[in-house]
């Protein structure tokens, strides 16, 4: 259902960030992309949403790139490709990627500070989680009032 904006309120802007992944499983640090997209915007928080069923988003440590690789390896071990999957389409044998994406989830919300910066912890970063790459992907970013 579409509702017209209330008097004095405008519809929130949706920024469509595009990225290309390089591997089947890959966590990509998108913290800077998100921060740049909302630079100069005002609001209470930022919603980061991934509109794909074989990808997700999470917040975790981004100071050491090995953490992202550990996530990739752990999820491949937790949800191995060699199970007897029911979801099998020729050319799209990607059932485990849907499960891995569900573990990560499709969205995160980050508070915005008064100066417009993301209120992340010292070691935190925002990661796009690819599980069916390499592909071109979108990440939607919206500032919440």
Sequence spans of domains, the chain: 14-82+92-144
Question: What's the angle, vertex CA 88, arms to CA 84 and CA 94, rounded to 5?
Answer: 90
Per-residue pLDDT tens over the stretch 46-67: 999 999 999 999 999 999 999 9
CB-based contact 96:80 (threshold 8 Å): yes
The β-bridge relationship of strands 55-61 and 26-29 is unpaired
Q: How many percent of the chain have pLDDT more than 70?
A: 92
The two structure tokens encoding residue 11: 């519809």
Per-residue pLDDT tens over the stretch 99-128: 999 999 999 999 999 999 999 999 999 999
Homologous superfamily in CATH for domain 14-82+92-144: YjbQ-like (2.60.120.460)
If pLDDT is split at 50, 70 and 90, which confidence band does 7 have? Answer: low
The mean predicted confidence, pLDDT, of the chain is 91
């Amino acid at each position: 259902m579409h509702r017209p904006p209330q008097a004095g309120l405008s519809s929130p802007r949706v920024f469509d960030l595009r990225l290309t992944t390089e591997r089947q499983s890959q966590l990509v640090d998108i913290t800077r992309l998100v921060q740049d997209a909302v630079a100069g915007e005002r609001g209470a928080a930022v919603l980061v949403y991934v509109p794909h069923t074989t990808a997700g988003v999470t917040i975790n440590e981004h100071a050491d790139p090995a953490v992202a690789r550990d996530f990739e390896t752990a999820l491949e071990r937790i949800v191995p490709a060699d199970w007897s999957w029911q979801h099998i389409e020729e050319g799209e044998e990607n059932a485990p990627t849907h499960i891995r994406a569900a573990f990560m989830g499709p969205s995160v919300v980050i508070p915005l500070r008064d100066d417009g910066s993301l209120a992340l912890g010292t070691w935190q970063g925002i990661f796009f989680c690819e599980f069916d790459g390499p592909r071109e992907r979108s990440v939607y970013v919206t500032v919440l009032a």
